[in-house]
């Protein structure tokens, strides 16, 4: 059992607050992805869990044991680094077996486990090579194999695929998911690529300016973003926002149309809808088309609704031209509302 | 038109190649020609040394060398030089490698001042320090000992050794060390199993540097030793008034052991694996 508990963790570098008030529970064997823009503190949090950085405040527990005062080697973790960190003076075999040798395992066991992990990562025929003789993708595999061979309770990965080209990345992503599902380790995976996050994660923790904005399943994060920032960050293209004014009785006026919304006392809300959640209709929002981009499967239409930037993903059979005015009806159960003052979602 | 286009790049390329080869030849000659004259003059009879023009083929007259082989104190001085240089090499590396590591890996108050101070030790000319040093050595009984001289040479070698090891450690990505920690290493084992193998060639290079500094140093050696002279001090004392052919032979004897030493450890001067992880 390797449940990870992060309690009230904060980190300051001098006066700079890199992390604040981080509370997160990651269940045993869960695949958790930390997603956020560059500089939001993802690596810092991961390194605090690994023991490469000390938290200014807070506690870290793994498997019911408080570990934030322990050295990295005593935490039951292993880590995959962004730039691989494959030891250049050792062969692939010695790299993968490095941690096992440190545990003083008998030679036969080391050989067996290295062979098995290498097989799993499909680098069985590279065992005699040095890292200088490997391609980026192969080095990446060695780094993952080295971490897996330790059979750790927890595996931490800091943007492990970011140095690979797009195709290899896609391939490695699928492999990584399969390998980790079999290995029954708890995984924390750092990335700023939302597609990677969506495809790998059991749950995503969206980080923003040193705090966790939302921790939920990929679908939940996509469908019900907890903050406006998440709605505007996740999804390609992201959500559309239009100002709304109250029309009484839980009704709101959006671009001249009246919609059912939350019953609050607020004098102002933001109406939000995903570009793919609108349909052509008799009555609805009128979109002044400025740009039409045929993307094959879909048609991406960009324009303005009531002066607000609005994108719609439509069926590619439609004929739309620049200057057209489309009438689009949002799917009622996909409409979301945000409070412009707190930027939080309102139900 | 096509002729011009085809010719111009080839001309520039061959011109560049010519410059490159000429440069290499010049640098090699810069080092080898004096050594060659030293060799010729050493292996020539006294008359040939003083005559002009010189022959380019040595006569293999062993007179000068035989003179030195029989010269009293000569072998002792050679031995002293080797011992002093070896001690200097060992002490300066044991002090400098940890210092270089600390400078590259830790942030501490006064780090930049410290780095400057290391260099400042070279700002005091040795002759200025020689008298107080001699007095202190006599008081502590370190005067005229091989170890005492090695201490002085260590002070001379340390600034360079610290700066070399500092840049070596800085060239090794922090992640390699961190990866070792997460794989079960302590700070010490991560150092011995990952960092040390990677910087060994560089450490060897700075050790050789310390060795050569000590081997060539003459001032402190002449001031601080009397009985236990090193080769440089010994030759300085005895060859001052000697004839030219003996001076050449003395120089030859001084150069050859250092050359043999560097030749023996030359492979460490080239990075063995390269630091390929970046
Ligand atoms: N050792 C340090 N000293 C001072 N500031 C630091 C240090 N390490 C990180 N920071 C700062 O903390 C913030 C968070 O850094 P972190 O490396 O965790 O970002 P990240 O989310 O991993 O970003 P990226 O996606 O670019 O890797 C950054 O603003 C960074 O400048
Ligand atoms: Mg990072």
Going from the Cα of B176 to the center of ligand 2, the distance in angstroms, rounded, reads 16
More confident residue, B11 or B36: B36
Give residues with Cβ within 8 angstroms of B110, minimum separation 6: none
pLDDT greater than 80 at residue B5: no
Return the ligand 1 atom nearest residue A44 CA. Answer: 18
Q: Do B182 and A130 touch (CB under 8 A)?
A: no
Q: Which residue of A has its CA nearest to B273?
A: A89
Nearest chain A Cα distance for residue B174, angstroms = 9
What would the pLDDT profile of B104-141 be if each residue is shown by its tens digit? Answer: 888 888 888 887 888 787 777 777 887 888 888 888 88
Q: What is the CATH number of domain B68-273?
A: 1.10.3720.10
Q: Tell which one of A11, A43, A46, A188 to mutate to probe ligand 1, the residue whose CB is within 8 A of the most ligand atoms.
A: A43
Give the total residue count for chain B.
278
Angle B163-B166-B169 from CA coordinates, rounded to 5°: 150
Going from the Cα of A210 to the center of ligand 1, the distance in angstroms, rounded, reads 10
Q: Which helix (H) or strand (E) holds B202?
A: helix B196-216
Q: Do A79 and B179 touch (CB under 8 A)?
A: yes
Beta carbons of A244 and A270 less than 8 angstroms apart: yes
CA atoms within 13 A on the CB side of B147: 4
How far apart CA B263 and CA B247 sit, in angstroms, is: 24
Return the ligand 1 atom nearest residue A16 CA. Answer: 5
Query: For chain A, how far is it from start to end, CA to CA, in angstroms?
Result: 37
**Which pLDDT belongs to residue A250?**
84
Q: Do B175 and A85 touch (CB under 8 A)?
A: yes
A146 in contact with ligand 1, CB cutoff 6 A: no
On chain B, the residues whose CB falls within 8 A of the CB of A51 are 181-182
Q: Which of B186, B197, B273 sits opposite A71 (nearest CB)?
A: B186
Where do the structural domains in chain B lie, given as residue ranges?
2-42, 68-273
Residue B278: pLDDT band (50, 70, 90) is: very low
Where do the structural domains in chain A lie, given as residue ranges?
4-233, 240-338
Nearest chain B Cα distance for residue A170, angstroms = 24
Average pLDDT, chain B: 81
Give residues with Cβ within 8 angstroms of A136, minimum separation 6: A163, A164, A168
Q: Do B181 and A73 touch (CB under 8 A)?
A: yes
Residue A32: pLDDT band (50, 70, 90) is: very high
Taking residues A61-74, report their average pLDDT.
Answer: 92
Return the ligand 1 atom nearest residue A207 CA. Answer: 21
Taking residues B167-175, report their average pLDDT.
Answer: 87
Q: Which residue of B has its CA nearest to A148?
A: B183
Cα B94 to chain centroid, rounded: 17
Average pLDDT, chain A: 91
Min mean pLDDT across B200-204, B229-233, B240-244 is at B240-244
Residue A95: pLDDT band (50, 70, 90) is: very high
A210 in contact with ligand 1, CB cutoff 6 A: no
Q: Which of A78, A88, A102 sits opposite B275 (nearest CB)?
A: A88
Closest Cα partner for A116 from A77, A149, A151?
A149
**Which pLDDT belongs to residue B2?**
47
How far apart CA B91 and CA A164 sit, in angstroms, is: 46
pLDDT greater than 50 at residue A22: yes
CATH homologous superfamily of A4-233 equals P-loop containing nucleotide triphosphate hydrolases (3.40.50.300)
**Which pLDDT belongs to residue A220?**
95
Nearest chain A Cα distance for residue B175, angstroms = 6
ipTM score:
0.84
Angle A324-A326-A330 from CA coordinates, rounded to 5°: 160
Min mean pLDDT across A295-299, A315-319, B52-56, B63-67 is at B52-56
How far apart CA A217 and CA A208 sit, in angstroms, is: 17
Return the ligand 1 atom nearest residue A41 CA. Answer: 18
Q: Which CATH number fits domain A240-338: 2.40.70.10, 3.20.20.70, 2.40.50.140, 3.30.360.10?
A: 2.40.50.140
Q: Do B179 and A87 touch (CB under 8 A)?
A: yes
Of the residues A49, A87, A163, the best mutation for testing chain B's interface (the one with the most B CB atoms within 10 Å of its CB) is A87
Nearest chain B Cα distance for residue A344, angstroms = 38
A40 in contact with ligand 1, CB cutoff 6 A: yes
Which residue lies with its CA nearest to atom 17 of ligand 1?
A: A43
**Which pLDDT belongs to residue A228?**
93
Residue B272: pLDDT band (50, 70, 90) is: very low
State percent of chain B over pLDDT 70.
89
Q: Do A99 and B183 touch (CB under 8 A)?
A: yes
pTM over 0.80: no
């Amino acid at each position: 059992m390797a449940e990870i508990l992060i309690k009230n963790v904060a980190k300051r570098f001098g006066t700079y607050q890199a992390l604040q008030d981080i509370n997160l529970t990651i269940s045993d064997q869960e695949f958790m992805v930390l997603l956020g823009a560059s500089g939001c503190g993802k690596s810092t949090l991961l390194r605090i869990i690994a023991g490469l950085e000390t938290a200014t405040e807070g506690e870290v527990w793994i498997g019911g044991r408080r570990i934030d005062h322990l050295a990295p080697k005593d935490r039951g973790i292993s880590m995959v680094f962004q730039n691989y960190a494959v030891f250049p003076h050792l062969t692939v075999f010695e790299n993968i077996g490095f941690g096992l040798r440190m545990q003083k395992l008998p030679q036969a066991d080391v050989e067996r486990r290295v062979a098995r992990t290498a097989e799993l990562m499909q680098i069985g025929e590279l065992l005699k090579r040095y890292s200088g003789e490997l391609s980026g993708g192969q080095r990446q595999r060695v780094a993952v194999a080295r971490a897996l061979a330790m059979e750790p309770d927890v595996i931490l990965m800091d943007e492990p695929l970011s140095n690979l080209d797009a195709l290899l990345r896609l391939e490695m992503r699928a492999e990584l998911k399969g390998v980790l599902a079999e290995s029954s380790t708890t995984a924390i995976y750092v990335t700023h690529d939302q597609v990677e996050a969506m495809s790998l994660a059991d749950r995503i923790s969206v980080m923003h300016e040193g705090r966790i904005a939302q921790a939920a399943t990929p679908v939940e994060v996509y469908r019900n973003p907890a903050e406006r920032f998440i709605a505007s960050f996740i999804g390609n293209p992201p959500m559309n926002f239009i100002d709304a004014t109250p029309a009484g009785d839980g009704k709101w006026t959006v671009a001249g149309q009246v919609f059912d919304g939350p019953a609050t006392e607020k004098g102002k809300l933001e109406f939000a809808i995903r570009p793919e959640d609108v349909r052509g209709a008799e009555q609805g929002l009128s979109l002044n088309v400025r740009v039409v981009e045929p993307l094959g499967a879909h048609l991406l239409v960009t324009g303005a609704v009531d002066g607000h930037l609005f994108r719609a993903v439509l069926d590619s059979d439609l004929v739309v031209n620049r200057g057209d005015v489309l009438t689009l009806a949002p799917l009622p159960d996909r409409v979301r509302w945000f409070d412009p003052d707190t930027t939080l979602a309102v139900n | 038109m096509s002729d011009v286009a085809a010719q111009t790049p080839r001309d520039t390329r061959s011109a560049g190649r010519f410059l490159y080869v000429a440069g290499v030849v010049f640098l090699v000659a810069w080092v080898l020609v004096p050594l060659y004259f030293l060799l010729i003059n050493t292996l020539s009879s006294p008359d040939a040394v003083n005559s002009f023009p010189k022959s380019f083929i040595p006569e293999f007259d062993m007179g000068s060398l035989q003179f030195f082989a029989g010269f009293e104190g000569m072998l002792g001085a050679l031995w002293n030089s080797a011992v002093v240089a070896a001690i200097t090499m060992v002490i300066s590396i044991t002090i400098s490698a940890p210092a270089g590591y600390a400078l590259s890996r830790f942030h501490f108050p006064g780090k930049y001042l410290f780095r400057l101070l290391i260099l400042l030790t070279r700002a005091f000319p040795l002759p200025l320090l020689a008298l107080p040093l001699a007095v202190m050595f006599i008081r502590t009984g370190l005067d005229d000992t091989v170890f005492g001289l090695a201490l002085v040479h260590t002070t001379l070698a340390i600034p360079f050794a610290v700066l070399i090891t500092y840049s070596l450690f800085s060239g090794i990505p922090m992640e390699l060390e961190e990866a070792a920690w997460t794989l079960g290493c302590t700070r010490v084992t991560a150092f011995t199993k990952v960092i040390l193998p990677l910087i060994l060639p560089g450490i060897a290079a700075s050790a050789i540097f310390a060795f050569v500094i000590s081997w060539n140093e003459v001032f402190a050696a002449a001031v601080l030793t009397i009985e236990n002279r090193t080769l440089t001090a010994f030759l300085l004392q005895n060859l001052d008034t000697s004839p030219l052919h003996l001076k050449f032979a003395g120089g030859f004897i001084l150069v050859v052991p250092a050359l043999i030493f560097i030749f023996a450890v030359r492979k460490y001067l080239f990075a063995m694996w390269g630091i390929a992880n970046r």
